[in-house]
């Protein structure tokens, strides 16, 4: 008889596969996880508390630092909520610029995920490819607003900067390049036997579970639930463009993988149409008062970030600062299902499943 | 193709300043002062008419009156611009004061008249005002100054009148439209002048006059509100201008809860006008758990997806806000549960929607709300030994260094 004992193992907070400072305490029976308890808060900066002392424009840079891999969509969720509350009209040109940067951001974010996910499960070179291609987008953003990660680009009423000369052409040139690279990624990884053995059927759940846990983004759509806020509750000008919402069937890590790659293709489609219809001239800032005093009331406004439904709940008492600002962070909500998925899995699959959920700890902790 | 790019990157600190400077300089000074007076929603811009109407409807009587207030400084501040001796300055200030008093008296009188009785109370005030105001400017007063003072007084009186007219209209049951044209006309007339150059003194004068007029408007509003209160209050939540398509949804929702949970489960139900008329229901804590189950299961609601749970410290009480949506029927709803600040407790709905688990832990951690029925209620963001709940409005860190 072999005497076995339960082992309590601390994974993190400093661990390469946790994508930030995040800890999971796992109880192991041999190599099988029998209990997992995520521990977070290492990156909690109290953004919501700080926001209560800041004007709406001053909060925008804080949103950059929540999901720092997708700052543009975070910018948007805040300014969009304030604009709705104040009923501010956004000029056409600003709408297009917003949409273009948000879709570029979605591509960049999914590339980070793709690269790091494969790195997690042991493939080094895809990471280099992904970061090479993402660099082009980062440079485009740098040219547009002078920052590589924390853009602070959007404003209540429009965007801070107009596109510099030739910028749109650079975006246009990037799209066919990216499409070609995606095919390369597929050839390199998507059909790889070892890769499939690692992720197919791992971390699977059904649609009811996904809804019950409030999952969103690829984590929800991998179960076949057709819910993308860009289509379901269109914001910005998404209703003007044709694109598909890729859905999975089996709800496992492989479906989530395929969905994210397909979403890059769909983003390219949206970008092509947006560049086609991009208005000549026009303002980049609408009529926003210099002091933004949102009228008394409250609003919940949500958009589709690369990670899922990111929402912003504002309670205003008519001041230039929010009375209460709450962010619904998709990483935080999606991560809840992790302990459930981990039970009965091996330690290797912990990395696969956690990576598949696609979290950014800056957003989990907020 | 692209417009010229601004090449000066502002320092990170002034993010709040950079919003379309030029566009605003085009606006009249009166308008921008209106904005600074907090009447942003009621700005006199014709294009923002819709927004303004909304603000007025929402009961922002004071804001609606403000554009009128700006007329006073605009006209009054015109003259003494060039050289201003100390005497003139003094005289101007006195004029502003006089205007303020006059307006106050006017408003008080009107309010008193509206209230039906107690006209006497207004009278002495009216008398006192000129007496006090007339004292100062007597010493030196050039014709121009006199003219300026009169103009200011006139404008302020107009503002007060407009206010009174509006209130009368409000009392009569019709909304504040009646007052608005008058309020609009005033700034339009006065706004033209002071745009070009504005010395600090003028600015000061303008502000003073604006303040005066605002006071007048407030006084008026106070009187009017007292009279109108019983009539206006039940009207406010239940009667939107044109019935929203969500109204039947809200009615049906309240009926369902009433029938399946209990007639006293709903504390309040309204449409959130600011948020696309989302049906919003405040549920009593004791009934919340059962209500949640009904919401999820009922074939006409099928609220299967809990989007967001927020905790709000309203200072008088705490509030937990739930945003729900049905993936089947594609309809949004918002629910709130109020609880007191001393022993805040809201039944956990984690057994109904699993996603509430960490959200409730977060609210417990940051606001200190207890969720009986939660499987694992402990801090999630702050360390386990943390003292206090940081999102409370009166939170004081035990160690200010941290």
Question: What are B159-207's pLDDT values in tens digits?
Answer: 555 565 555 445 544 433 433 444 444 444 434 444 445 555 655 666 6
- Please tell me the predicted confidence (pLDDT) of residue B147: 63
Measured between beta carbons, which residues in chain A are less than 8 angstroms from residue B19?
57, 155-157, 285, 288-290, 292
Mean pLDDT, chain A, rounded, equals 92
Measured between beta carbons, which residues in chain B are less than 8 angstroms from residue A232?
330
Residues B212 and B105: their CA atoms lie apart, in Å, by 12
Residue A63 has pLDDT above 80, yes or no: yes
Alpha helices in A250-323, H assignment, sequence order: 253-277
CB atoms within 10 A of CB B67: 31
Residues B342 and B326: their CA atoms lie apart, in Å, by 34
For residue A364, which of A341, A333, A332 has the smallest C-alpha distance? A332
CATH 3.30.460.80 in chain B is located at 243-367
* Domain chopping of chain A, boundaries: 6-365
Partnered with residue B336 across adjacent β-strands are: B282, B321
Residues B83 and B85: their CA atoms lie apart, in Å, by 6
Q: What share of chain A is helix, strand, coil (3-state, %, to 5)?
A: 50, 15, 35
The nearest alpha carbon in chain A to B34 belongs to: A289
Residues B20 and A363: their CA atoms lie apart, in Å, by 31
Alpha helices in B233-312, H assignment, sequence order: 235-238, 247-260, 285-297
ipTM exceeding the 0.90 mark: yes
- Please tell me the predicted confidence (pLDDT) of residue B150: 65
Question: What is the full DSSP assignment across B96-137?
Answer: HHHHHHHHHHHHHHHHHHHHSS-HHHHHHHHHHHHHHHHHGG
CA of A57 to nearest chain B CA: how many angstroms apart? Answer: 5
What are A59's two structure tokens? 């909060």
Contact A48, B310 (CB under 8 A): no
Residue A37 has pLDDT above 90, yes or no: yes
Contact A299, A313 (CB under 8 A): yes
How many residues can be counted in chain A?
A: 366
Would you call B312 and A155 a contact, using CB atoms and an 8 Å cutoff? no
- Please tell me the predicted confidence (pLDDT) of residue A5: 83
Measured between beta carbons, which residues in chain A are less than 8 angstroms from residue B304?
211
Q: Strands B332-339, B278-283: parallel, antiparallel or unpaired by DSSP?
A: parallel
- Identify the DSSP state of B8: -
Secondary structure of residue A341 in the 3-state scheme: helix
Report, as an integer, the average pLDDT of A345-361.
90
Does the bond joining A288 to the residue before it have cis omega, within 30 degrees of 0? no
CA of B253 to nearest chain A CA: how many angstroms apart? Answer: 20
The nearest alpha carbon in chain B to A312 belongs to: B308
CB atoms within 10 A of CB A193: 7
CA of B40 to nearest chain A CA: how many angstroms apart? Answer: 7
- Please tell me the predicted confidence (pLDDT) of residue B121: 40
Would you call A324 and B355 a contact, using CB atoms and an 8 Å cutoff? no
Residues A55 and A82: their CA atoms lie apart, in Å, by 11
Best of A214, A234, A297, A336 to mutate (most B CBs within 10 Å, chain B): A214
Residue where the block lists tokens 């939660």:
B374
B14 Cβ contact partners less than 8 Å away, ≥ 6 residues apart: none
B241 touches A at CB < 8 Å: no
Would you call B35 and A291 a contact, using CB atoms and an 8 Å cutoff? yes
Would you call B380 and A41 a contact, using CB atoms and an 8 Å cutoff? yes
Report, as an integer, the average pLDDT of A65-76.
92
Measured between beta carbons, which residues in chain B are less than 8 angstroms from residue A57?
15-16, 18-19
CATH of domain A6-365: 1.10.645.10
- Identify the DSSP state of A187: I
What are B389's two structure tokens? 């709940």
Residue where the block lists tokens 């303008």:
B206
Residue A272 has pLDDT above 90, yes or no: yes
Distance, CA of A328 to chain centre: 12
* C-alpha torsion sign, points B346, A322, A335, A12: negative
CA of B85 to nearest chain A CA: how many angstroms apart? Answer: 34
For residue B281, which of B311, B231, B324 has the smallest C-alpha distance? B324
How many CA atoms within 13 Å lie on the side-chain side of B328? 12
Report, as an integer, the average pLDDT of A37-54.
92
- Please tell me the predicted confidence (pLDDT) of residue B89: 62
Higher pLDDT pick, B206 / A23: A23
Q: What angle do CA B304, B309, B315 make, to 5 degrees?
A: 145
Q: Backbone phi, then psi, for B296, in 5-degree steps?
A: -75, -35
Measured between beta carbons, which residues in chain B are less than 8 angstroms from residue A212?
353-355
**What is the Rg, in whole angstroms, of the alpha carbon atoms belonging to chain A?**
21
Best of B7, B305, B309 to mutate (most A CBs within 10 Å, chain A): B305
CA of B254 to nearest chain A CA: how many angstroms apart? Answer: 21
Would you call A289 and B353 a contact, using CB atoms and an 8 Å cutoff? no
How many CA atoms within 13 Å lie on the side-chain side of B96? 26
- Please tell me the predicted confidence (pLDDT) of residue B246: 86
- Please tell me the predicted confidence (pLDDT) of residue A301: 93
The nearest alpha carbon in chain A to B326 belongs to: A211
Would you call B2 and A167 a contact, using CB atoms and an 8 Å cutoff? yes
Q: What is the pLDDT of residues A156-178, one digit of tens each?
A: 999 999 999 999 999 999 999 99
Measured between beta carbons, which residues in chain A are less than 8 angstroms from residue B305?
211, 214
CA of A53 to nearest chain B CA: how many angstroms apart? Answer: 11
CA of A63 to nearest chain B CA: how many angstroms apart? Answer: 14
What are A96's two structure tokens? 């297009």
Q: Which residues of chain B have pLDDT under 50?
A: 1-48, 50-56, 58-81, 111-112, 115-139, 168-169, 172-196, 219-240
Partnered with residue B323 across adjacent β-strands are: B308, B334
Domain B243-367, CATH number (from 3.90.550.10, 3.20.20.80, 2.60.120.1440, 3.30.460.80): 3.30.460.80
CB atoms within 10 A of CB A171: 23
Q: What is the helix (H) or strand (E) element at residue B92, kind and residue range?
A: helix B86-115
Contact A265, A111 (CB under 8 A): no
Residues B31 and B40: their CA atoms lie apart, in Å, by 9
Contact A320, A52 (CB under 8 A): no
CB nearest A214 (choices: B305, B312, B330): B305
Residues B190 and B81: their CA atoms lie apart, in Å, by 16
Q: In chain A, what percentage of residues exceed pLDDT 70?
A: 99
Higher pLDDT pick, B37 / A231: A231
E-strand stretches of chain A: 6-11, 23-29, 32-39, 154-155, 158-159, 297-305, 308-316, 324-328
* C-alpha torsion sign, points A11, A17, A20, A24: negative
- Please tell me the predicted confidence (pLDDT) of residue A287: 87
Alpha helices in A235-325, H assignment, sequence order: 253-277
Helices A71-86 + A92-120 axis angle, to 10 = 140
């Amino acid at each position: 008889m072999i005497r076995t004992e339960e082992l309590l193992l601390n994974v993190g907070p400093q661990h390469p596969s946790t994508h930030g400072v995040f800890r999971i305490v796992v109880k192991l029976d041999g190599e099988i996880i029998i209990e997992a308890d995520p521990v977070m808060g290492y990156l909690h900066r109290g953004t919501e508390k700080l926001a209560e002392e800041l004007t709406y424009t001053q909060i925008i840079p804080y949103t950059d630092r929540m999901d720092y891999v997708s700052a543009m969509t975070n910018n948007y969720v805040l300014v969009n909520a304030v604009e709705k509350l104040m009923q501010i009209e956004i000029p056409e040109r600003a709408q297009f610029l917003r949409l273009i940067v948000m879709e570029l951001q979605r591509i960049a974010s999914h590339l980070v995920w793709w690269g790091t996910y494969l790195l997690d499960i042991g493939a080094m070179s895809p990471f280099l490819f992904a970061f090479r291609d993402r660099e082009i987008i980062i440079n485009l953003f740098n040219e547009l607003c002078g920052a590589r990660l924390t853009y602070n680009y959007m404003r209540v009423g429009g965007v801070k900067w107009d596109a510099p000369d030739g910028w749109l052409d650079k975006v246009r040139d990037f799209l066919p390049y990216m499409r070609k690279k995606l095919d390369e990624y597929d050839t390199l990884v998507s059909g790889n036997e070892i890769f499939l053995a690692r992720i197919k059927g791992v971390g699977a759940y059904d649609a009811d579970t996904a809804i019950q846990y409030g999952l969103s983004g690829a984590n929800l759509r991998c179960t076949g639930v057709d819910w993308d806020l860009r289509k379901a509750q269109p914001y910005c000008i998404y209703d003007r463009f044709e694109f598909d919402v890729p859905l999975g069937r089996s709800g496992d890590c492989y479906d989530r993988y395929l969905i994210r790659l397909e979403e890059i293709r769909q983003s390219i489609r949206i970008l092509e149409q947006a560049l086609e219809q991009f208005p000549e001239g026009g303002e980049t800032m609408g009529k926003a008062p210099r002091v933004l005093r949102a009228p008394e009331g409250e609003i919940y406004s949500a958009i589709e970030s690369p990670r899922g439904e990111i929402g912003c709940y504002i309670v205003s008492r008519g001041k230039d600062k929010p009375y209460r600002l709450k962010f619904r962070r998709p990483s935080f909500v999606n991560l809840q299902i992790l302990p459930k998925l981990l039970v009965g899995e091996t330690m290797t699959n912990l990395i696969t499943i956690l990576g598949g959920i696609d979290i950014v700890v800056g957003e989990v902790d907020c | 193709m692209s417009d010229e790019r601004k090449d000066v990157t502002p320092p990170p600190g002034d993010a709040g300043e950079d919003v379309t400077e030029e566009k605003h300089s085009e606006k009249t000074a009166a308008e921008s002062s209106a904005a600074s007076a907090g009447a942003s929603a009621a700005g006199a811009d014709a294009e923002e008419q819709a927004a303004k109407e909304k603000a007025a409807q929402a009961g922002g009587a004071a804001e609606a009156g403000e554009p009128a207030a700006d007329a006073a400084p605009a006209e009054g501040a015109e003259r003494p611009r060039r050289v201003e001796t100390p005497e003139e300055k003094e005289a101007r200030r006195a004029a502003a004061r006089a205007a303020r008093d006059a307006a106050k008296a006017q408003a008080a009188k009107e309010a008193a008249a509206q209230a039906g009785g107690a006209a006497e109370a207004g009278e002495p005030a009216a008398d006192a005002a000129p007496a006090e105001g007339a004292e100062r400017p007597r010493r030196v007063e050039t014709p121009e100054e006199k003219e300026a003072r009169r103009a200011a007084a006139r404008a302020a009186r107009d503002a007060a009148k407009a206010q009174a007219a509006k209130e009368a209209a409000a009392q009569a049951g019709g909304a504040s439209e009646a007052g608005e044209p008058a309020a609009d006309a005033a700034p339009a007339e006065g706004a033209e002048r002071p745009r070009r150059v504005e010395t600090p003194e003028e600015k000061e004068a303008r502000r003073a006059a604006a303040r005066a007029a605002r006071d007048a408007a407030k006084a008026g509003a106070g009187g009017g509100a007292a009279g109108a209160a019983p009539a206006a209050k039940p009207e406010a939540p239940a009667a939107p201008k044109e019935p929203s398509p969500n109204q039947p949804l809200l009615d049906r929702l309240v009926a369902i809860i009433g029938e399946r949970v209990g007639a006293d489960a709903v504390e309040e139900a309204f449409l959130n006008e600011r948020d696309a008329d989302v049906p919003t229901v405040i549920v009593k804590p004791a009934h919340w758990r059962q209500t949640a189950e009904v919401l999820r299961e009922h074939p006409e609601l099928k609220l299967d997806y809990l989007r967001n749970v927020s905790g709000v410290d309203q200072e008088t009480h705490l509030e937990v806000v739930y945003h729900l949506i049905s993936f089947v029927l594609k309809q949004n709803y918002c629910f709130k549960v109020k609880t007191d600040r001393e022993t805040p407790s809201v039944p956990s709905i984690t057994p109904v929607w699993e996603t509430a688990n960490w959200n409730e832990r977060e609210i417990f951690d940051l606001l200190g709300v207890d969720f009986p029925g939660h499987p694992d209620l402990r801090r999630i963001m702050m360390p386990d030994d943390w003292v206090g709940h940081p999102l409370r409005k009166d939170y004081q860190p035990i160690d200010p260094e941290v």
